[in-house]
Structure 1
Amino acid sequence: MRAVVLDILIRLANLLIVLLGIATIIFSLPYLAPGGPERALIGWPYTAERAAALRVHYGFDRPLYEQYGLWWRNWLDGEWGRSKFTGRPVLREVSLTLPLTLKLLAEAVVLAVLIGTFLALVAIYPWHRPYGGRGQGMAVVAAGFPDFYFGILMKFFFVWHLEWFPIGGFAFFSERPWLAYRQLLLPALSVGILYGIIIGPRVAARLSAAREIFEDGFDGFLDAGHLREVRLWHVGGKALGHSLVVLFQHGALLLGSIMLAEKIFTIPGFGDFGIEAFVRRDYPKIQAFLLIMVGGYAVIRALANGIEAVRERRLKRDPAQFLSDAPAKSPAGLGALCMQDSFFLGVVLVAVIATTALFASYIAPYLPDEVHMKDRLQPPTTQYWMGSDLLGRDMLSRIIFGARYSLMVAGAGATGALVLGFLLGGVPRFAHGLGMALMSPIVGILEAFPALIVGLLMMTLLGQGYVQEIAALTAALTPSTAAVFLRGYVAARSRSLIPVGLIAAVWLQAFGLAIIVEATLNFLDIGLLPLMPSWGGDLKANLPYLHVNPAIVLFPGMAVVISAMGFNLMAEAVRKHLVWRQLG
């Protein structure tokens, strides 16, 4: 009992350190903005009188530590500043948008937990046999789907094709509760289905590894029909608990998905509030958004890790690990890795995309910006295999040339994140306890910022362009790679501190995530410059014409899915191979 209390106190202390670090980073954002804090926080027009009033309000004429204390006091007093563009108090806008997002988040969490529990129970059936990794392929495919693209597909099929949901408009719960619920149901489904598929195999692996369904003479239950339902409820209850914990450990990605769902389905919630703030560089709103979103996620993550530690009775172990779910034992040689179906398929997909991008000038039938106004919005034909956009540009050519930019930016960002992640998480492992103790709080603070939010923040600070986007992807993916190097269990059981297989798996997974984040930034018009062909940018530009010519939206999205899926398949295969080597 004393160990439990001590561990809780340690976790609370770590949470306070993380929250303090998050607040400090958020406070420093206006000082990192172009033009300094005055131009970052004041609205348009910029006048000497408004600048003088702003200096007094934020204490810019005082020492930095006094400004920090004043910033904290203003926030605790509810003085969150005013929007640069609307002029309204930021706290007022937050109070109007946050409740709607919480309702959407609650619906998405319930659906994801139910779907994940159902898939986990199906995956481990028959329950008297060990779990063989069933369903992991579906999880890899779901992880390769950009959230915004899956939302577009859901909206196209259920709203425009089947007409089961209203096309536009928005109703409030206080006025028309049933219509408001229907309008939130489809966005919640688009998020819940993806994350239910992702967490299902992980929940099944945890149930099987813990042997929670094989205890106390389970074979007798199989023969006793009247007890089988009791056992099913017992297993289902444990699966529900695991599903909730695993989902909260994916909270960083979940929050980004909620933001994009609000954007796709035009919901005026807190996620849309944040995206608008980043696009407009409205720093008072950005600070409010980050403080609530990142701080809330840090609390939820700490709570989920604590619950998981109590459930497993291993209070000193952080359960959120990259390589924690060990697959069934299998041959561990390099040839076995190459012969895995998932690795082979991933290599083929990536090789096809990379070769197409490398020889784009020879493969593409047209130049990406070649305009044919007489052939606007053409469906797929022998001349335009994937249709043409509003300007008559060939979509196949734009997708091929877009692969060159997208893969180059994503690859450079993933490589930069690998290097920085190794410096932050891998190098301290060589110092053993001291290095890990010093870097764990720093990595924990950085890890609290979701990758999409970091990407949006970096593009807001740096501006648009491919170099800026590479820097944004590097910053967005560094915390997760550093956490893997710092806490990976397989590395701890290996003969070397950082196995080569771990580095390869981290880089491949970072590459797959970088493709999705890069496409998302371009879809939000904050990534590459508009003239550069990119998958996400073309998808956003053609989205208004989805009902006229679906091909010009579906094909760019499929390019993102296939590329990300290829790298995810290889990362999953390398991860399994690495675990097999440790078990062998």
Structure 2
Amino acid sequence: MTAYIIRRLLYAVPIALGVSIVCFALVYIAPGDPLQTLLPEDASAETIAMVRKAYGFDKPIPVQYLIWLGKVVTGDFGMSIATGRPVLGEIVKALGNTVLLAAGAVLIAFTLAFILGTIAGYRVGTPTDRAVTGFAVIGVSVPNYWLGIVLIIIFAVELNVLPATGMGPRGSDTFNLFDWNHFRYLLMPMVTLSLIPIGIIARTTRSAVAEVLNQDFVETLRAKGLMEWEILLHVLKNALPQVLAVMGLQFGYLMGGSILVETIFTWPGSGFLLNKAILTRDLPVLQGTILVLAIIFVATNLVIDLLQTAVDPRLKRG
């Protein structure tokens, strides 16, 4: 197992390097000048040249990449063009808010989807199965930004029981998860963000459980006189590796944050930070945020691989 972990970590290095190249290159493909937010329209050529030199935009792109990568490795993501603050601090603050939102969405989505998928897998072809499948299809099909707008109209505008936007009564400086006056700001974005993972994971769990139930060993367990809940544990253990793979992808999606959901609810997470960076052409923030989120996604896949190996001995590697 140790050798497998080391091997996987070594595999992650070229992946992270490739991701860094893509992150650095993509932002230069977008039209516009990133320095236009700093310079007045009547800026002189000397001023433009001075600012370009200060931010390193006067060097060839390959040289800019190597300089940027060297700083990133040491934890220096540069300075934000829009705010003038360190990019790493901006990312850490936004990522902390996204973790708060994603943790709630994970708790709702993974728990509800796994339960619903297991029930449907045990009752294939019944009205219960059709109801769960229909709900899963709706979850996958309904755009989360549309659901967010609907929830705002119902609970914030019509019923006036939940706040429409923001992170708390005092803005985003402080948030107390155990204070209802703060927690109510989290409810609607959390439910909105969990809808798509519920649909995807429920359908995957249903298929995995139904497939395992059709295997011969389940009949053997019943013939041995095992209780149904004991059989259920064996079924879930065999279905879990497939479900874990999908959960890992969805967790990476949630950690990446949804630009639309966080923007709709003005939740100051990584998605909201990305949206602002795109609109203001803040290249250092854009590059740093995308890179950090991509590395989190790679790390999540590594953890899921290890969990799959721990759950199913058949997947153990040397």
TM-score (norm 1): 0.45
Change (3 A) 1:156 1:237: farther
Greater relative contact order (Cα 8 A, min sep 6): structure 1 or 2?
2
What number of residue pairs does the alignment pair up? 303
Aligned residue type for 1:115: L
Change (3 A) 1:187 1:219: farther
Q: Are the counterparts in 1 of residues 145 and 260 from structure 2 also a CA contact under 8 Å? A: yes
Is 1:23 matched up with 2:45?
A: no
Q: Give 1:163 deviation, angstroms.
A: 3.7
Give the corresponding residue for 1:209: 211
Q: Which of residues 136, 155, 169 in structure 2 aligns to 1:158?
A: 155
- Aligned equivalents of 2:176 and 2:257: distance in 1? 26
- Aligned equivalents of 2:253 and 2:91: distance in 1? 21
Is 1:99 matched up with 2:96?
A: yes
Give the corresponding residue for 2:307: 307
Give the corresponding residue for 2:143: 146
Give the corresponding residue for 1:122: 119
Give the corresponding residue for 1:76: 73
Q: Give 1:294 deviation, angstroms.
A: 1.9
Give the corresponding residue for 2:267: 267
Aligned residue type for 2:16: L
- Aligned equivalents of 1:153 and 1:219: distance in 2? 51
- Aligned equivalents of 1:104 and 1:274: distance in 2? 16
Q: Give 1:269 deviation, angstroms.
A: 1.8
Change (3 A) 1:133 1:169: closer
Q: Give 1:261 deviation, angstroms.
A: 2.0
Q: Which of residues 181, 184, 201 in structure 2 aligns to 1:182?
A: 184
Q: Give 1:287 deviation, angstroms.
A: 0.7
Q: Give 1:166 deviation, angstroms.
A: 2.8
Instruction: Give RMSD over aligned pairs.
Output: 3.7
Is 1:44 matched up with 2:35?
A: no
Aligned residue type for 2:299: V
Q: Are the counterparts in 1 of residues 139 and 198 from structure 2 also a CA contact under 8 Å? A: no
- Aligned equivalents of 1:41 and 1:18: distance in 2? 30
Change (3 A) 1:142 1:148: same
Give the corresponding residue for 2:194: 192
Give the corresponding residue for 2:171: none
Give the corresponding residue for 1:89: 86
Q: Percent identity between the aligned chains?
A: 26
Give the corresponding residue for 2:292: 292
Change (3 A) 1:121 1:34: closer
Give the corresponding residue for 1:218: 222
Q: C-alpha deviations, 1:46-86, integer Å up to 9, x for none? A: 6634643543553844x765543321232234432333333
Q: Give 1:235 deviation, angstroms.
A: 5.5
Q: Are the counterparts in 2 of residues 133 and 201 from structure 1 also a CA contact under 8 Å? A: no
**Paired residue secondary structure (1:217):** helix
**Paired residue secondary structure (1:111):** helix
| Equivalences for residues 119-518 of structure 1 within 5 A | 119-126=116-123, 135-171=132-168, 172-174=174-176, 177-211=179-213, 214=218, 217-218=221-222, 227-229=227-229, 243-251=243-251, 253-254=253-254, 258-308=258-308, 311-312=311-312, 313-314=314-315
Q: C-alpha deviations, 1:153-181, integer Å up to 9, x for none? A: 23333333444423444323259743222
5+ residue gaps in structure 2? 169-173
- Aligned equivalents of 2:219 and 2:259: distance in 1? 42
Change (3 A) 1:66 1:307: same
Change (3 A) 1:220 1:191: farther
Q: Are the counterparts in 1 of residues 274 and 286 from structure 2 also a CA contact under 8 Å? A: yes
Aligned residue type for 1:86: T
Q: Are the counterparts in 2 of residues 105 and 188 from structure 1 also a CA contact under 8 Å? A: yes
5+ residue gaps in structure 1? 317-584
Return the index of the structure with the highest Cα Rg.
Answer: 1
